[in-house]
């Protein structure tokens, strides 16, 4: 009988495999939305075997390719940084991999076991161990990208970073779709949350500082919620360092430096290691007694490997023969594409177009794609912030997070051939090029039909060449017609910035007279509300559902009556936030036709997102873009 005592594993549950590949299993170490982790024995030692869920693999045609790259990167990681990769089968259905079993506790488990924050000496030991691991990883031009308490394992002699399943070499960042980032909201760096620049070792340093803040205070420095509220605070606000300053002022100053909004202002992992090595205890237990006691139990279990007696069963993902059989099952998955083609046939309104547009917006919103054991990891639209309209054209590596420029300085028209914020609608509506390669036909796109008549100067409608086919992900930019887009990542489609047919003056309704109103949506009858620093849709009786109209040049601001903050837009397709009314960027709105609210910043209409928050999207006259003003 296999004894699990001291291992940290639970008995196998009904439906769990008895072996994966050639590895017999003894217990379950954890489970999440991505897969399950089992305790097994491989070549005379304990291993942690992670098997991915079939549903996860089957939903992403590119998943196996990305998974293979992840395993390649995992095999490159130094042993001092993480549990080494011992076995894997990337072609099995579902695929799996096995790493050395770590006889430890996650940082979150340790804080819970301790009953609260860790003492200063333990925090310095934590910083020293994590900085040493990251320094060795960063030396290989790799980043972890998801440092958080559940991915830091404390052991008797130090710590180990786990779950490098989302790690990437920095030069392989294209594996994640443009416009998507991977990480856990409360531990994301500003550049990770906003997409203002590529990720680097500084991103891991920021996350490590947030994890240290959790260990010192019981909560991360910017709060522990998982929505857009914490992302807003990470990008715009300062962390709460008061509890850590009371505990250890020197450590607090170091953590504050790691939480600098500018990645270039943060110390490197090697510099952190040097600082922590001077302060961390060199003798005696590294961790408080109650944690050390539990770690001793883990180490005792790992010291003697038991034999697992399992009946003879078919191998799961262990031999090439069964692995080749499931592959035809994956082939039918492209079939849903033909099913989507008949959608243009219905003639009753624009519902099929709306359904497709909603699916596209899924990649422009918050999309949970990875949930790891011990914590939630999200792929999140690059939503909270853009430094200026031009910042999206070519975000250089030196870009830093700063306040948006006044949109009035950009006007409504971008440079010829380059997508400005007002030209962004081409990303969603590039299909006009499928009908006709001429600019005349391209002008019949939804943007060209905008009731406001602002096609050329306000919304860059239609696209002069009729190509306008920028990939919704921003990763391609290849035109659908004769002229390909130059670079979707740079925001350059094939279309010119001038409209094909909407060059007339704006016919938008005049702004309303000053007053305080509720704005009810025509699609779901919910009202605009505020949640932390973000817009939301909720009950019209909510205390944050009333908005005061404040006239401004070119339109008006919507000021939340309860908080005194203003509704403001980011780039087209991105989430709408609520913030300081003293700034102008993105805060000017005007009335559009059909009861719409049009952003003067990006020319898009206030719309319902795929989750609770609001977005701006191409004005299409849909019910979700109609807002009825109520006293």
Neighbours of 3 (CB within 10 A): 9
Q: How far apart are CA 528 and CA 537, in angstroms?
A: 5
Number of H helices, E strands in the chain: 17, 26
Q: CA torsion 530→145→197→188, rounded to 10°?
A: 20
The helix (run of H) or strand (run of E) holding residue 560 is strand 555-560
Q: How far apart are CA 159 and CA 275, in angstroms?
A: 17
307 Ramachandran zone, left/alpha/beta (phi>0; psi -120 to 50): beta
Peptide bond before residue 496 is cis, with ω within 30 degrees of 0: no
Q: How far apart are CA 529 and CA 51, in angstroms?
A: 42
Nearest to 572 by CA among 416, 432, 433, 381: 381
626 Ramachandran zone, left/alpha/beta (phi>0; psi -120 to 50): beta
Cβ atoms of 495 and 443 within 8 Å: the answer is: no
Q: What is the DSSP letter of 172?
A: G
> Computed from CA positions of residues 149, 154, 158, 163, in that sequence, does the dihedral angle turn out positive or negative?
negative
Angle at which helices 120-138 and 249-258 pack, to 10 degrees?
30
Angle at which helices 249-258 and 201-217 pack, to 10 degrees?
140
In order of 9, 209, 240, the CA distances from 30 in angstroms are: 8, 26, 32
Q: How far apart are CA 479 and CA 113, in angstroms?
A: 57
Q: How far apart are CA 44 and CA 332, in angstroms?
A: 41
- Which residues belong to the active site? 146
Q: How far apart are CA 8 and CA 516, in angstroms?
A: 57
3-state helix, strand, coil in the chain (%, to 5): 30, 20, 50
């Amino acid at each position: 009988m296999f004894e699990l005592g001291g291992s940290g594993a639970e008995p196998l549950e009904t439906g769990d495999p008895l072996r994966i590949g050639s590895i017999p299993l003894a217990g379950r170490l954890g489970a999440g939305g991505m897969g399950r982790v089992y305790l097994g024995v491989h070549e005379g030692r304990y291993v942690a075997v992670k098997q991915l869920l079939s549903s996860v693999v089957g939903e992403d045609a590119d998943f196996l390719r990305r998974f293979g790259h992840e395993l390649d990167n995992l095999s490159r990681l130094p042993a001092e940084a993480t549990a080494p990769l011992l076995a894997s089968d990337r072609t099995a259905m579902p695929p799996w991999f096995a790493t050395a079993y770590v006889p430890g506790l996650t940082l979150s488990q340790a804080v819970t076991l301790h009953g609260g924050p860790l003492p200063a000496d333990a925090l310095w030991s934590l910083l020293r161990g994590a900085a040493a691991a990251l320094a060795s990883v960063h030396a290989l031009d790799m980043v972890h990208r998801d440092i958080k308490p559940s991915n830091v394992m404390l052991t008797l002699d130090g710590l180990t970073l786990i779950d490098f399943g989302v790690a990437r070499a920095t030069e392989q960042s294209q594996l994640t779709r443009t416009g998507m980032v991977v990480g856990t909201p409360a531990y994301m760096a500003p550049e990770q949350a906003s997409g203002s620049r590529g990720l680097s070792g500084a991103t891991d340093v920021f996350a490590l500082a947030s994890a240290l803040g959790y260990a010192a205070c019981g909560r991360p420095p910017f709060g522990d919620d998982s929505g857009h509220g914490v992302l807003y605070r990470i990008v715009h606000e300062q962390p709460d360092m008061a509890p850590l300053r009371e505990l250890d002022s020197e450590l607090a100053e170091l953590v504050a430096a790691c939480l600098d909004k500018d990645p270039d202002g943060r110390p490197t992992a090697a510099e952190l290691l040097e600082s922590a090595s001077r302060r961390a205890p060199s003798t005696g237990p590294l961790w408080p007694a109650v944690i050390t006691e539990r770690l001793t139990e883990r180490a005792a279990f790992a010291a003697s490997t038991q034999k697992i007696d399992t009946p003879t069963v078919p191998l799961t993902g262990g031999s090439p023969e069964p692995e080749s059989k499931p592959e035809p099952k994956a082939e039918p998955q492209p079939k849903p594409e033909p099913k989507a083609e008949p959608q243009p046939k219905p003639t009753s309104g624009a519902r099929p177009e709306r359904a497709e547009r909603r699916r596209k917006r899924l990649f422009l919103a918050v999309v949970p794609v990875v949930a790891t054991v011990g914590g939630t990891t999200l792929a999140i639209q690059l939503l909270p912030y853009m430094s200026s309209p031009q910042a999206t054209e070519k975000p250089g590596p030196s870009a830093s997070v700063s306040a948006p420029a006044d949109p009035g300085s950009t006007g409504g028209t971008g440079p010829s051939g380059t997508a400005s914020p007002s030209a962004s609608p081409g990303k969603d509506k590039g299909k006009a090029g499928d009908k006709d390669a001429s600019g005349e036909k391209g002008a019949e796109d939804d943007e060209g039909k905008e009731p406001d008549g602002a096609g050329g100067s306000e919304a860059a409608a239609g696209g002069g060449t009729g190509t306008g086919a920028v990939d919704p992900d921003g990763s391609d930019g290849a035109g659908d017609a004769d002229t390909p887009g130059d670079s979707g990542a740079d925001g350059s489609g094939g279309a010119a910035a001038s409209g094909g047919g909407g060059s007339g003056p704006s016919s938008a309704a005049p702004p309303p007279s000053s007053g305080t109103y509720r704005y009810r949506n025509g699609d779901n009858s919910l009202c605009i509300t505020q949640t932390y620093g973000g817009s939301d849709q909720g009950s019209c009786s909510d205390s944050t559902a009333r908005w005061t109209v404040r006239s401004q040049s070119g339109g008006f601001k919507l000021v939340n009556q309860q908080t005194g903050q203003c509704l403001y837009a980011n780039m087209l397709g991105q989430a709408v936030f609520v913030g300081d009314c003293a700034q102008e960027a993105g805060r000017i709105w005007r009335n559009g036709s059909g009861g719409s609210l049009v952003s003067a910043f990006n020319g898009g209409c206030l719309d319902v997102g795929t989750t609770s928050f609001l977005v701006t999207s191409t004005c299409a006259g849909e019910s979700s873009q109609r807002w009825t003003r109520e006293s």
